Every structure is written in structure tokens, then in C-alpha cells.
Structure 1
Amino acid sequence: MKVSIDKSVKTGAAVHAKPRRKLITPKSAPYLFIGPAFLLTLIFTVYPIISSFILSFQEVRGVEKTFVGFANYARLFHDPVFYKALLNTAEILIIQVPIMLFIALLVAVGLHSSMVKAKAFFRISYFMPSITALVAASIVFMILLDERFGLVNYALSFMGIKSIPWLTSPMWAKISVILVMTWRWTGYNMVIFLAGLQNIPHELYEAASIDGAGKIRQFFMITIPQLKPVFIFTVVMSTIGTLQLFDEPFILTNGGPNSATMTITLYLYNVGFKYFEFGYASAIAYVLVLITAIISLIQMKLVGDFKE
């Protein structure tokens, strides 16, 4: 009798026992997969952004941090080197970006034409510079553009042109940086324009041909308007990249001669890692972010209105 009672009790307990909750459910599984990436983003992206913003209101001396309010930002308005770096960056932006995008568009149109053979070869050839390491490419150009022993001046000497001080003259140093940037990023933008050209319906060109529109008219009336999103993307991304210009002037000229190629990011690097003024460097970084955002919004508006 005792044994039967114990069995019934155990059986009843088993019937009324609650099922265990599963740790991993269909709803929680996606969060477990994105959890590590989200955590790494918080640690290595979100935290540095917040920390550097707080640091821009502080003065760092060794391990001591002192709150100085907007003193670092006010210092920017009285810093001639910052204005010089800002002007240099603006000059490179205004000259280099339109030239590069114009060449990229022409190359893309040429490679999109049915008259060109071996398209894959030319596409790879133009795109290869964009996957070349910036440091390696800059060192190669530094050797090529050497005033005394560079291959470029050696080739120019056969045409009776005197040696050009590519990296020692303020004007030519800036031109050298523009040349290296154009060489590296033209192929990258060419691929983007080429993708946009391939998405334009061929029926539009057939209809225009029937109406008597020539190739040039088709280019300006069909190709350019259809590439409006591509124009906006390339202009904005090229502008952001130019405002963040660092590797080329750092390796080619180290910001010289006479700060002629000193860019904002190069000046930021010098302030932070040469003079160890991390608070002031953080203020420069956030001013650069603000400038980039404003210019990008203006460009999106202007390009959008122009293409309407």
C-alpha cells in the first residue's frame, strides 16, 4: 500500500510539472547571432565616439584630465595652422574631385560602348589602383616624382622640359597629391558609373534614336539624368574621402613644403600624436565631422536640383 501511494504521488508530480524553458528560441536566436557584432561595435565604435566627444571638452596633461568647456573649440578660431589646413583641403577638394569624376565618367562611357573590345581587361586595369595599398602607392610615387632621380623628370628631360620640383615646391607638391589621388580613385568611381550605365534601359536610347536624337543629345538628355543617384553618391563619397585625406600628403610631403599640403586630418594627427594634445585633437575631429556633414548636405541638394 505504501509503495502504490508513492508511485501515485510521483506520477501526479510528473503530470503537473512545468516544462523547462528553452534558452534558445526562434525569436531569440537572431539576437544571439548579432550579439557579438553588436558588442564589438559598442566597444570599438560607439564608445570611442562618445569618449572623444567628452575629451574635446577637456585638457589632457599626462594622465590628468581637466574640464575646460569650449576652450578647445574657441582655440580653433585663433589657430592659423588650422585655417591653412582647411584651405589646403578645400583647394584639393575643389580641383581634384570634379576632374576625377569627369575622367571616371568618360572612361565608364567608353568601356560601356559596344565598340570597345577586351572590356574585362580594361576594367580590371583601371580598377587595380583602387585596391593598391595607399602607403605602397605613395612610396612609389615619391620615388617617381623625385626631383633629381625620379623617372618622371627623367622622361620629361627628353622633351626639353626642365626638372620639376614635384615635392619641394608648394604648388607642385599640391599638384602631386592631386595626381596620386586621381590615379588611385578614378577606377573606383569608374566602376560605380559603369554599374549605373548598365542599369539604364536600352529602350530609352532606341526611342531617342527613332525620334532623331544623336549620340551627344542622348548622352545629355538620357544618360546624365538617369545617372542622378550615381552622381550624388560619387560626389558625396569623394568629398568625404578628400576631407579625410591623410596618407598621400603624410608620405609624399609630410604636410610640406611650408604646410602647403597640410590637410585637416594630417594636422589632427600631428596635434594628437606629436604634441599629445588629445583634447584639442578631439575638438578638431568633431569640427571636421560637422564640416563634412554640412558640405555633404549642400552637395546632395545642389546635385539633386541640377539633375532635375
Structure 2
Amino acid sequence: MAQPNSAAPPAPQPAIAVRNVTKTYASGFQALSDVTLDIRPGEIFALLGPNGAGKTTLISIICGIVTATGGTIRANGHDIARDYRAARRQIGLVPQELSTDAFETVLATVRFSRGLFGRPADPAYIEKILRDLSLWDKRDSRIVTLSGGMKRRVMIAKALSHEPRILFLDEPTAGVDVELRRDMWQMVRALRDTGVTIILTTHYIEEAEEMADRIGVINKGRIILVEEKSRLMHKLGKTQLVLRMQAPLAECPAALDAWQLECTAGGTELVYTYDAQAADTGVAALMRQIDALGLEIRNLQTRQSSLEDIFVSLVRSES
């Protein structure tokens, strides 16, 4: 009797597969160096890095705007160089810079973008996009007459016009109003729920902390870390335990040196910084030692490091 096949099902192919991609400009500047990265289907992936780190260059290469010096890229299985049209049809891009026909109407430019990718006309779908982005009432307005925030909405509508399965958002909320930011993230979540893969770069790291499933950090043209957001926060995040003393300490007791405490606020606070691995043993042992010394604590509180703290420490360690 044949035994049932207990082998695990194969992992789905990446939505974006980047392999050993480099980019060196004619000046000799190397913008990307041996970048390898898989982005999973249906995830929100945040690509973080300081200015000039290579974020926009990498996105531009994946989207076929810039040619790589070396390496390969596949979008939902289509090679971006050998099968450009099929690969590019998978991708929507909202670039940093606003670039569209200023004298065209909103409705016409979004319809035209859909046609560029060979998609048949679908007035109901275009109307839905414009309504979701609060653009329907502006559909007959010329783009030149719109505010900066409204122009950004048009760029998003153009990127979504051909129903891409992969959406790049390159600093999409830079300089936009709070209402658009809220609308955009609501739309991003809705798209992810339908299986669209979202890749975003942002200077608002709190947005990545709220939205992303995974985080990638790029610095000086190299990917230095890719990690599940929750795991990254757990592994690299720091917690501070602030102990407020009943009476000021002239100095931190030598018996507490092992915890490398900071003595602040005129000796009224002891601050212990620790990571997840030290949470149980370090804190418990510290509290026992403080009790043994007869020190009285008025109150205590904890402070958790943010994704921004982690990002800054990673970039500094690579500099």
C-alpha cells in the first residue's frame, strides 16, 4: 500500500526575486552592490535606508526604469530584462516625483495609463479607484489645477489603473496631508487583503512600524538586514526599566555594576537597559540585589525602543 506523501508543499515563488544585482554608473559610483532579496506574495514589505542608500535605484531597476549592471530580477516569475512587457504589467509604481500631463484631465490620464499596459477599458474599475482616492469629483479637472496632495492621489490612481499584482510606493506620503496619508494606508491594507504585494519606502518609520509585515534595511547599496517586523522588534529592540528611588543616591552602588545602570535625575533614577534575552534573568536579579541593599523604590516604569531606534542603531553600526 502506497504511503501518503508527507512532504511539505513547495513554497510559493517570490513576487519579486532579486539576485546579485549591482549598479555602477559611468562616473564609477556604485549605487548597488550584490543585492539579493525575495519579497513574498501578498506581503507589505518596507524598505528602509538613509538618503542615498540605494532604495530608489533598486526600485527603478525592478520597475525597468534603470538598467542593472549585473544580476537578475523576476516579477511573479517574469524576467524583467528578457520578458519586460509581461513583468512590467505585474507592477504599479508610485514614484517620489510628481510627473504627469499637467493639461490632461484626471479621468483621461488614468484611463490612458490603463491602456498603456494593454488592459481593456473598464469604466467601473476606474470609477472605483477614483472614488477610493476621493478623486471622482475632480475627474474632469485638469491636473495643473490640482493641489499637491490631489496630484499625489492621481499618481496613485495611475499606478493602480492596470490592476497590478505588485505595487511600489516610493516615499508616497512625503509632503502630503494627513487625510491622504490615512486614505492611502486604508487602501494599502485593502489591496494587501486581495493578495497584492506592497513594497514601500518611507521616511516616516512609524508608518513602516504600523503597516509592514517585514522590514528590509539598505545602506551604502547593500541589504544589511531582512527580518519579520515582530521578530526584529523582539530581537533587536531594547527595553529600559526606570527605577525612581525614594531618596537620591550619591552614586550608583558598586554592587549594581554588573547591570551597567545609568544614574540620572540627580541620583533619583536608576535606568537599566536590556534586550529580550535578558528580560527574565536580568530584571529579576537586579530587583533582588536592590532589595538586598535595602534601597527603597518609589515607583518604576518601562520604555520600549521603537523601530526608528533599531533602524538608527543598525545604520550606525554599518557606517
Which of the pair has more CA radius of gyration? 1
- Which of the two has greater strand per residue? 2
Answer whether TM exceeds 0.5 for this pair: no
Instruction: Calculate the TM-score normalised by the size of structure 1.
Output: 0.20
Larger RCO of the pair (alpha carbons < 8 Å, separation 6+)? 1
Higher normalized helix content (fraction of residues): 1
Q: TM-score, normalised by structure 2?
A: 0.20
